[in-house]
Amino acid sequence: MSLKPFKKIGIGVTFSPNLKANIHEASRLALRLRSNLVLIHVGEQSTDKDAKFNAILEPFVKKGLVFEIIFKPGNPVDVILSITNEKNIDLLILGALQRENFLKYYVGSIARKITRKAQCSVLLLINPSVEHIACQHIVVNGLKDPKTTQTINTAFYVAHQLNSERITIVEEINQDEIAIKVDDDKSLRKTNILKERIRQREASRINEIIKTIDSEYTKNISIKSQPIFGKQGYSIGHYAQIMRADLLVMNAPSKMTFWDRLFPHDIEHILTELPTDVLIIQ
Amino acid sequence: MSPKKNILIDFLKSMPKNIFSGFVVSLIALPLGLGLAMASDAPPIAGIIAAIVGGLLVSILGGSHVTISGPGNGLVGVLLVAISTLGLESAYAAIIFSGILMILLGFLRLGKLADFFPSSAIQGMLAAIGLIILGKQFHIMLAHKIDRADTIDYLLEIPYTINDAIHYTNPGLIYAAIIGVLSLCIMLFYPKIRNKYLQLIPAPMWIVILSIGFSYYFELVAHEANPIDKNYMISGIPNISTIISEIPIIDFSKIGTTAFWASVVALTLIASIESLLSIKAVDKLDPQKRRSNVNRDLKALGLASVGSGFLGGLNVVTVIARSSVNVNNGGSNRSSNFFHALFLVIFIVLFSTELKRIPLPALMAILVFTGYKLASPKTIKNIFSIGKEQLIIFFVTLFVTLKVGLITGITSGVVVTFIIHIIMNKGVSLFARNVLKPNVLMFKEDEGGNYYVSVKHFCSFLNFYRLKEKLDAIPEDQDVVVDFSLCQFVDHTVMENLNDYQELFTKRDGHFEVIGLDMHDTDSKHPFAMRRLLPVPNLIKNSLTKRQSAIEGFAKDYGLNYNADKQRETHFLDYFLFFRTKKINHIYNKQSEKNLAIKLFDIEFSEGEFIAKEVVRSTMLHIQLDKNIPEFTLDREGFLEKVYAFAGFKDIPIQDHSDFSKRFYLLGEDVEAIKTFFKDDITHFFESNPYYHIESNGNAILVFGKERLASIKEIKALFDFGKRLKDVIS
């Protein structure tokens, strides 16, 4: 299985209180993944702005960071998307917002639009910090989906580059797969046998995927697989939150229609309540 | 032997016990059926018809195991309205349609319906029903029939009726009122008398027997007419041939009216809620720890209601008091429900004329007691201790139900609950944003195989069904951890239900733990408006009573640890046969040896539910053994054991100790092991010591004397006995 390392990382920057933290996070990641960094600023260029960005980036340049800064005025969503395409950016970093007084994060309207339309992978950061925080535990989805193999592969690649210790692969199993409804002791027993069977089937499927991955990426990482019977896209976020995962890696959604937003599923759940940093693999 | 055959043999083996408990249940079902039907303004036999049809059909088709079905007290209020607005013939049609709706609910798997109502609102509704029953029947109990339009008027006139009753001059009325008051006293004081022979017949049946005896006394001994006023004798009990030949004509002409459908909906709603709550409560009492199939039960109850309606009977629901009597008397499967119906048929065939000798006030006293139990001050006190806001919900539901009607009442309860939740959370956004989210996550942890359940956002009566669905998918003998640390708001309904789960899991060898609620009031980052957490043992005890100080002194003398506080950790008692059908509330005044081998404690437990509920306090001794011994129960030989023997229990004789075998009643599964265990020294020990009830569960022994608290002297004797018993055995 071929890996697709991220060659170019893009980040949209504005002069917000989070500016320094955002750039620090992006630069660290770019160094770790050995990729180039593209700062996208929606607005006119000025020497003043240039100087500010350069000042923040300076410590990383010393460590060998290659970067470019692009200024372009216009609608933020359109600008960022078009530059992503132009520059062949394969990972776009976006910051999340925090709900006042709550320890809850959500993706703002602009970032949300970008996430839905982006052609590349997207990393949503909930808590950017100037200081380095180690990424120890990665949760990745193991849905039965053609994209999953690529997603798990990338997760291992990222884990390897970030020196993560643990990867948990979560297989969300739709409740509909269990045809029996629990009514009494007998049906409960049947359901549990069925669940156990599905659990084993899923575990062996995941094992097959892991086998195809280059052992160099899997060797120092403890791998766990966790089947969950629950709502797709929602339970994995919930799981990542209670396991205090540092990064959640998910498949990109297939197609979005108006109805998908009205009755949220899969990725939309995650966007309204970010459990942790989320990496959406395209 | 094939497992099928085993089931059949087990069934036949347990048959005598089920016939016996079916018989006892029919004794209580007969007066209750008559009374409930009369309270609903239906002919008295309608209640019996409901019980018979219900018993026969639900026992065959139902999905629960030890429940009894029949006319329910919750329906009295609705039936009263239905019969007074529609007339009896149309009311039967409404009953038939509500039965059909219940069948539909069963097919739509809406057994979870009852979970959508806040528990305080349900309590308020039940209390209102209690007051409706009590208010109306109280006057008849005192031989003072009145007719008022509003239920509240009935309640307000109670003092006037009492005043009138004191100044009666008509001897017929005086006798009637005295019978009523005496019957009420029997209901009130019956649970207080712990006499095994007296307890063999349920209180309502005592009332029936005594009042029939009273009537015969005047006829056969005194040769006088029955002094009770003719108007206050039960009337309109047809004999069996009239019942069969005069099946009522059902009037379907009002089917297009809104009043008709309002009654149908109300009947369905109350019948389902009452049944579902009862099934849940009875499941906790089931000694064999089975899970009921509520949807199947709903279908069976609905079908029975349809049948009952066509034959001129009331709605059939699952009834809690009768079911708990069934469990207490050894009912172990659905056949007891069947036999209860069969015995009712026999009663009606053989004794329908005797039933006419029952005075109305006696029957109404039973109902007044039922009503009082539903609306007892204890309920209110209990709700108040949970929180003041619960009291608001309770009273709003109560008053609206009394003033307007049941459906409006319960709806107002739901609305008020939700408004209170909004106020407590300072806004509707928490609910609006999250109500549709699948906020419950459950998975089986790899290490240890625990089930871990995490709940996010909020958990209240609005979305409790999601949590319940997950919890129901866990076998009760597993370990469960429910984590609320991501949950901002948990309401009282949820807490109460979780407590039920906790009891259920503990009883079935599982473990159910709720975590993440401790920080709900302290952490400023989480604006939790948490209400009461799980019931916590009363930590602050002001002072010790005289008895407690004496126990403390005794404990000091013997080098025991003493703890006066209530303790709810009573899992070590669950395996004793004695507690299988009983609910342990708590133990207190615990004295224990340093190594916990011998424990002495006061215990409060309850038997039965609702009007059959009896709370018992006793002092017991628990000996933990280091070796395994056979399981057995040992008690004094007596009349009651002969009755039990008739019902299928067997006394185990010990060879060469005829005196022991004569004086003691020994019972257990593994006869051979018990025979070898009762060697000479052990048998001699029991022969030469005072009588106690002794039970072994395999590795521990439970000893107690009477079913009341022991005096200090008795405690000392009990402790001494236990110590020596331990020496003899080990």
User: Which tens digit of pLDDT belongs to each residue from B267-288?
Assistant: 998 899 889 888 887 877 777 7
Q: Retrieve residue B326's tokens.
A: 């069934």
Q: Retrieve residue B636's tokens.
A: 């004094």
Q: How far is the C-alpha of B266 from the C-alpha of B289, rounded, in Å?
A: 32
pLDDT bin (cut points 50, 70, 90) of residue B420 is: confident
Burial class (CB within 10 angstroms; exposed 0-12, middle 13-18, buried 19+) of B71: buried
Q: How far is the C-alpha of B84 from the C-alpha of B263, rounded, in Å?
A: 11
Q: How far is the C-alpha of B721 from the C-alpha of B694, rounded, in Å?
A: 11
- B341 pLDDT above the threshold of 90: yes
Going by their DSSP bridges, the two strands B632-636 and B693-696 should be labelled as antiparallel
Establish if B112 touches chain A: CB-CB under 8 angstroms.
Answer: no
Q: Retrieve residue B164's tokens.
A: 């009138």
For residues A39-55, give the mean pLDDT.
Answer: 82
The HSE-up count of residue B495 (CA atoms within 13 Å, CB side) is: 19
pLDDT > 70 in chain B, percent: 92
So what's the pLDDT on residue B52?
93
Phi, psi of B441 (to 5 degrees): -115, 130
Establish if B486 touches chain A: CB-CB under 8 angstroms.
Answer: yes
Contact between chains at A182 and B472 (C-beta distance less than 8 A):
yes
Greatest extent of chain A over all pairs of C-alpha atoms, in Å: 75
So what's the pLDDT on residue A259?
58
Q: Of B314, B347, B246, give the one whose Cα is nearest residue B99.
A: B314
User: What separation, in Å, do the N-terminal and C-terminal C-alpha atoms of chain A show?
Assistant: 16
A-B contacts at Cβ under 8 angstroms: 62
Is the Cβ–Cβ distance between B704 and B619 less than 8 Å?
Answer: yes
For residues B600-609, give the mean pLDDT.
Answer: 82
Contact between chains at B437 and A239 (C-beta distance less than 8 A):
no
Closest by Cβ to B525, choosing from A103, A185, A229: A103
> DSSP string spanning B578-605?
GGTTEEEEEEEEEEE-TTSSEEEEEEEE
Name the least confident of A30-39, A217-226, B526-535: B526-535
Establish if B519 touches chain A: CB-CB under 8 angstroms.
Answer: no
Phi, psi of B531 (to 5 degrees): -90, -165
For residues B204-216, give the mean pLDDT.
Answer: 86
Is the Cβ–Cβ distance between A255 and A117 less than 8 Å?
Answer: no
Contact between chains at B483 and A241 (C-beta distance less than 8 A):
no
Interface subset of A 219-248, CB within 8 angstroms of B: 224, 226-231, 234-235, 238-239, 241-242
- Tell me which range, B4-18, B134-148, B230-244, is most confidently predicted by mean pLDDT: B134-148
Contact between chains at A238 and B454 (C-beta distance less than 8 A):
yes
Q: Which residue has the higher pLDDT, B580 or B686?
A: B686
Q: How far is the C-alpha of B507 from the C-alpha of B479, rounded, in Å?
A: 12
Establish if B478 touches chain A: CB-CB under 8 angstroms.
Answer: no
- The helix/strand/coil state of A247 is strand
Contact between chains at B63 and A183 (C-beta distance less than 8 A):
yes
Closest by Cβ to A242, choosing from B63, B473, B486: B486
Q: How far is A199 from chain B (nearest CA, A)?
A: 10
Going by their DSSP bridges, the two strands A222-229 and B440-444 should be labelled as unpaired
For residues B133-150, give the mean pLDDT.
Answer: 82
Is the Cβ–Cβ distance between A8 and A70 less than 8 Å?
Answer: no
β-pair partners for B602: B588, B619
User: What separation, in Å, do the N-terminal and C-terminal C-alpha atoms of chain B show?
Assistant: 38
DSSP letter at B116? G
> DSSP string spanning B483-516?
EEEEEEEE-HHHHHHHHHHHHHHHHTT-EEEEES
Dihedral of CA atoms A248, A252, A258, A259 in degrees, nearest 10, equals -70
> DSSP string spanning A44-55?
---HHHHHHHHH
CA distances from B37 to A163, B40, B181, B412 (A): 76, 5, 21, 28
Contacts of A188 in chain B (CB under 8 A): 291, 472-473, 475
- B195 pLDDT above the threshold of 80: no
Q: How far is the C-alpha of B11 from the C-alpha of B13, rounded, in Å?
A: 5
Is the Cβ–Cβ distance between A252 and A267 less than 8 Å?
Answer: yes
- The helix/strand/coil state of B27 is helix
Name the least confident of B205-209, B390-394, B655-659: B655-659
pLDDT bin (cut points 50, 70, 90) of residue B540 is: very low
- Residue B227: CB atoms within 10 A of its CB come to 16
* H or E element, residue A248: strand A247-251
What contacts A79, CB < 8 A, 6 or more positions away?
A: A40, A42, A72, A73
Q: Retrieve residue B512's tokens.
A: 């159910």
Angle at B43 between CA B41 and CA B46, to 5 degrees: 110
Is the Cβ–Cβ distance between B440 and B453 less than 8 Å?
Answer: yes
Contact between chains at A181 and B527 (C-beta distance less than 8 A):
no
In chain A, the residue whose alpha carbon lies closest to the alpha carbon of B484 is A242
- The helix/strand/coil state of B318 is strand
What contacts B95, CB < 8 A, 6 or more positions away?
A: B82, B267, B305, B308, B309, B313, B314, B315
Name the least confident of A168-177, B362-371, B408-417: A168-177
Is the Cβ–Cβ distance between A35 and A8 less than 8 Å?
Answer: yes
Look up tokens 């000042």; give the residue. Answer: A55
- The helix/strand/coil state of B267 is helix
Establish if B333 touches chain A: CB-CB under 8 angstroms.
Answer: no
Contact between chains at A185 and B291 (C-beta distance less than 8 A):
yes
So what's the pLDDT on residue B646?
53
- A260 pLDDT above the threshold of 60: no
So what's the pLDDT on residue B628?
86
So what's the pLDDT on residue B267?
92
Name the least confident of A186-195, B165-174, B234-243, B439-448: B234-243
Q: How far is the C-alpha of B172 from the C-alpha of B233, rounded, in Å?
A: 11
Interface subset of B 275-314, CB within 8 angstroms of A: 290-296
Going by their DSSP bridges, the two strands B479-490 and A36-41 should be labelled as unpaired
Contact between chains at A183 and B296 (C-beta distance less than 8 A):
yes
User: Which tens digit of pLDDT belongs to each residue from B457-506?
Assistant: 888 888 888 888 888 888 888 888 888 877 778 888 888 888 888 888 88
So what's the pLDDT on residue B415?
93
Name the least confident of A81-85, B276-280, B284-288, B539-543: B539-543
Is the Cβ–Cβ distance between B141 and B361 less than 8 Å?
Answer: yes
* H or E element, residue B330: none
Q: How far is the C-alpha of B611 from the C-alpha of B365, rounded, in Å?
A: 12
Establish if A269 touches chain B: CB-CB under 8 angstroms.
Answer: yes
> DSSP string spanning B96-108?
HHHHHHHHHHHHT
Q: Which residue has the higher pLDDT, B387 or B130?
A: B130
CB neighbour burial string for B518-557, b if at least 16 within 10 angstroms, e if fewer: eebeeeeebebbbbeeeeeeeeeeeeeeeebeebbebbee
Establish if B213 touches chain A: CB-CB under 8 angstroms.
Answer: no
Going by their DSSP bridges, the two strands A137-141 and A166-173 should be labelled as parallel
β-pair partners for A38: A10, A68
In chain B, the residue whose alpha carbon lies closest to the alpha carbon of A189 is B475
Q: How far is B443 from chain A (nearest CA, A)?
A: 5
So what's the pLDDT on residue B524?
29
Establish if A180 touches chain B: CB-CB under 8 angstroms.
Answer: no
For residues B152-174, give the mean pLDDT.
Answer: 84
Q: Retrieve residue B601's tokens.
A: 């404690």
Contact between chains at A238 and B456 (C-beta distance less than 8 A):
yes
Contacts of B291 in chain A (CB under 8 A): 184-185, 188
Contact between chains at A228 and B442 (C-beta distance less than 8 A):
yes
Contact between chains at B442 and A192 (C-beta distance less than 8 A):
no
Strands (E), B419-578: 440-444, 451-459, 479-490, 511-515, 561-563
pLDDT bin (cut points 50, 70, 90) of residue B536 is: very low
For residues B32-51, give the mean pLDDT.
Answer: 89
Strands (E), B276-358: 317-319
Closest by Cβ to A224, choosing from B290, B446, B527: B446
Q: Which residue has the higher pLDDT, B188 or A264?
A: B188
Is the Cβ–Cβ distance between A58 and A20 less than 8 Å?
Answer: no
Contacts of B456 in chain A (CB under 8 A): 238, 241
- B410 pLDDT above the threshold of 70: yes
Q: How far is A146 from chain B (nearest CA, A)?
A: 25
pTM value?
A: 0.76
What contacts B339, CB < 8 A, 6 or more positions away?
A: B18, B19, B21, B22, B23, B26
For residues B188-216, give the mean pLDDT.
Answer: 81
Q: Retrieve residue B614's tokens.
A: 């009896």
Angle at A141 between CA A138 and CA A142, to 5 degrees: 125
